[in-house]
Amino acid sequence: MTTKTKLKKYLKIILILFFLGAQQGKTLKSLYSNAYLFVNPSEQEGLPLTVLEAASFGVPLLLSNIDIHCLMLKDFPFFFEDRNIIDLEKNLKFILENPEIAFDRGKKNKSYAWRKYSWDKVVEKIILKYN
């Protein structure tokens, strides 16, 4: 059984799910621009740029509740308990059934990401740190 088939079975809902591998440039921008939801189920991360990229496009986020995810974008993403497929399923269903809430969270993700993590802000923080 493939990973995609297993995931659909566990989630018990029909999803249009793509495993695209590495993408870049215009293709990546198009994927983020047209995404309904970005899911990052990581158990361990540094500062995941993929999450910040998705947030910067206003995509709603569903993230595992590991420390870095909880610190990065505050309360705007949707969170599920790390390693808990039932909680992941519950949150996916909620997001799919409540597009207006998902859209609102996506807008908040975008605003917060641009305020806190734009390259100008990052450079500014580095300069302040080393001066």
Residue 68 contacts residue 48 (beta carbons within 8 Å) = yes
Alpha helices in 12-98 (DSSP H): 25-34, 49-56, 67-72, 85-97
For every residue of 30-47, DSSP letters joined together read: HHHHH-S-EEE--SS-SS
* Dihedral angle, C-alpha 128, 47, 52, 27, nearest 10 °: 120
CA distances from 18 to 35, 53, 80, 105, 108 (A): 11, 18, 20, 22, 25
- Please list the pLDDT of the chain residue by residue as tens digits (131 residues): 676 666 666 565 556 666 788 999 999 999 999 999 999 998 898 889 999 999 999 999 999 999 999 888 888 899 999 999 999 989 998 998 899 999 999 999 999 999 998 888 888 888 888 98
Per DSSP, what are the bridge partners of residue 62? 39, 78
Q: pTM for the full model?
A: 0.81
Give the C-alpha separation, 86 to 10, whole Å: 8
Q: Domains of the chain (ranges plus CATH)?
A: 3-130 (3.40.50.2000)
